[in-house]
Structure 1
């Protein structure tokens, strides 16, 4: 039990430390701060969902996952961690579709390659492109390099990627070489060398026909764009280089210039939070809007948050804000779903509808929204005509939400553990969660701890202190 509880508290403390301002504050009913015998029920919330998007987890800097790329990087830019796993292949990119080399403006068909506008290309351009296409079609160096990489034969793979680049100057090969030097795969880690190769990949000319953004496949990008994103992250966190937000922003803007829509969202974050640049909400909104109108859900949420109450230079427009939340909810974005839950729960901008509210709370909760998970717990804890009371299920939802860093859920779970609602009494666990809730800023947690202390045995206090001690020391 102690080991399980220690793991539980570690997760909660980690998330609480990273995300103290991510969750909306609840509209609390009038209660006695000393009364902790009932689970607190906070179902009414103000529709204000701030996202602190510029926050760095230094521990992620050396992670392989961190230096992979995904469209959802934008959604979690506050931690600068990619949710996806490292892929050996540039998503949707391969040598046969690379159009970013040379001076040719090509998109039709000629000599095994393609072009459209002869007025922009000389015959030598066509000859060069056609010859390169033939070499590419016959050459297996890049294919063999990826095969070796998949077999974890990294030194051999690195040599073949370098050979492939020497033959054709592929941005894909340069990207892979840069990644391998960055992560120390087949060679000793060498950020300076990684930067050299990533720059070679990222500085390929913009393609004449940018990739079209597909909301169902937002991670789609070419290898040059992917290199730009990796470079941006390196300078953003200062991975073996001096932190340089301005340089990071330059590379995000480069990715945006290649029509990589999620980069517009991150560029907007730089200006909205004034991270390394002068805060400029109007400019941030302009970038958010570009991505939002193309169908990128995180940008739709960002637009909604600005318009909900207005911001510097941007007037409030609650109706438009709700429309953007609807668009994000259609894409199953947790913040969009949660905002609609709040709207139907409180009747803000729509007719109050408890059934619709519960539906959206549930949809947001199952997609990992901590506040929604706590709200589902309160539904089960309280019970009504819509959802029958089920304390064991409520306790499970509170635990899930608490582990994800929600202060209300930490407190509610502690109450249930202390009183034995939904399961056995666990005074030690209650003490731990009340303490974490207090650290996360819950206003009633201190009073609850004072009330619980006389009920604790000396052994229980020692065991609870042992669970808390490692993390408290790490945070000090």
Structure 2
């Protein structure tokens, strides 16, 4: 695939978690060529890079309001978990799990797996996840699939992982549908099937998963597994951007700037690029540099523009044309730019 740098964890890695990069999108003001990265030839069979992320603590379900102790239906276990009272959550879940509570079993798997309130114990985590999975809990199926796929707590078992993901996805778990889609896209654990991957991404995207929305947008943008539809791609990018997916935010800004699949809105696009640049997206920083230096859609600001150029260059997103223009600045202006760059890295390092 071209711009679709989905996160497909290698089967020797940990979880299949969601992220990506808009490294091959284009924002081309008149007279300025896009960076070389935006011209890469499409390669649908290319395996996306592997990125391992620590599993988030709130993996099980959205946070409910803090439960009232006098409410007999209150989820005291999850309430304690959400407040960081992991030892309390463990004690409460242990009692409920022994009484056959499926959700409590899943919670114990989570706590044992991530060493929350108890010493990490993958064997116990797997045992509780298995019990909850056998009881029909889709979140336990997903978590156990990830452990089987990554080899945590035992040997890698791709076949078992795929079955668990399929069962979880069938029960409506969007994370399972998303990760199963990545396996069909990757074409290593499962035969590559772009159409099936698109179907699963659609399920996860419709459930509000921003990573799936971003990935599916790329499918529609390129006509991968679906009919090419730039308007649909823009809608999905917007939805993912609203959910704070940084890569979708960058690509949606570029779509707005160029009027690709959505009405042209240079002012709105530049605001999105500024926001993404401040979140340290090298692509956004490079595109923002072009806009500020050329003054299309915003007043020219050479100092600020070259600041973002140097910051993006430090992250590996260089631009020979902007290098040439930077060299033409006066010594005084170059010094101003370099002072702003130092201030940026000093501030960012403290975050």
Deviation per CA, 1:160-205, whole angstroms, max 9, x where unpaired?
xxxxxxxxxxx94x7777888x64xxxxxxx7x6587256346423
- Whole-Å Cα distance in 2 between the matches of residues 428 and 225 of structure 1? 54
Kindly indicate whether the alpha-carbon contact (under 8 Å) linking 1:228 and 1:254 is maintained by their aligned counterparts in 2.
no
Kindly indicate whether the alpha-carbon contact (under 8 Å) linking 1:179 and 1:194 is maintained by their aligned counterparts in 2.
no
The equivalent residue for 1:434 is 309
Check if 1:318 corresponds to 2:194: yes
The equivalent residue for 2:11 is none
Distance 1:230 1:469, change over 3 A: same
Q: Indicate which of 216, 219, 222 corresponds to 1:343.
A: 219
Q: Indicate which of 184, 187, 204 corresponds to 1:328.
A: 204
Distance 1:400 1:298, change over 3 A: farther
Shift of residue 289, structure 1, vs aligned partner: 0.9
The equivalent residue for 1:398 is 273
Kindly indicate whether the alpha-carbon contact (under 8 Å) linking 1:54 and 1:269 is maintained by their aligned counterparts in 2.
no
Deviation per CA, 1:455-475, whole angstroms, max 9, x where unpaired?
333233223202212444x69
Q: Which segments of 5 or more consecutive residues in structure 2 lack a partner in the other structure?
A: 1-16
Q: Which segments of 5 or more consecutive residues in structure 1 lack a partner in the other structure?
A: 1-19, 61-65, 73-83, 99-170, 184-190, 211-220
The equivalent residue for 1:452 is 326
Q: How does 1:66-465 map to 2 (within 5 A)?
A: 66=57, 70-71=60-61, 84=63, 87-89=65-67, 96=72, 172=76, 183=85, 194=88, 197-198=91-92, 200-201=94-95, 203-207=97-101, 221=103, 223=104, 225-226=106-107, 228-234=109-115, 244-275=121-152, 277-312=154-189, 314-383=190-259, 387-403=262-278, 406-442=281-317, 444-445=318-319, 448=322, 451-452=325-326, 455=329, 456-465=333-342
The equivalent residue for 1:22 is 19
Shift of residue 23, structure 1, vs aligned partner: 1.3
Tell me which structure has the larger Cα radius of gyration.
1
Higher relative contact order (CA 8 A, sep 6+): 1
Deviation per CA, 1:127-186, whole angstroms, max 9, x where unpaired?
xxxxxxxxxxxxxxxxxxxxxxxxxxxxxxxxxxxxxxxxxxxx94x7777888x64xxx
Range that drifts further, 431-440 or 458-467:
431-440
3-state DSSP class of the match of 2:115?
A: helix
- Whole-Å Cα distance in 2 between the matches of residues 276 and 423 of structure 1? 55
CA RMSD of aligned residues (A): 4.3
Kindly indicate whether the alpha-carbon contact (under 8 Å) linking 2:277 and 2:288 is maintained by their aligned counterparts in 1.
yes
- Whole-Å Cα distance in 2 between the matches of residues 439 and 251 of structure 1? 46
- Whole-Å Cα distance in 1 between the matches of residues 134 and 167 of structure 2? 12
3-state DSSP class of the match of 1:71?
A: coil
**Number of equivalent positions:** 327
- Whole-Å Cα distance in 1 between the matches of residues 344 and 272 of structure 2? 22
- Whole-Å Cα distance in 1 between the matches of residues 155 and 47 of structure 2? 23
3-state DSSP class of the match of 1:414?
A: helix
TM-score by length of 2: 0.72
- Whole-Å Cα distance in 1 between the matches of residues 124 and 320 of structure 2? 45
Shift of residue 395, structure 1, vs aligned partner: 0.8
TM-score by length of 1: 0.55
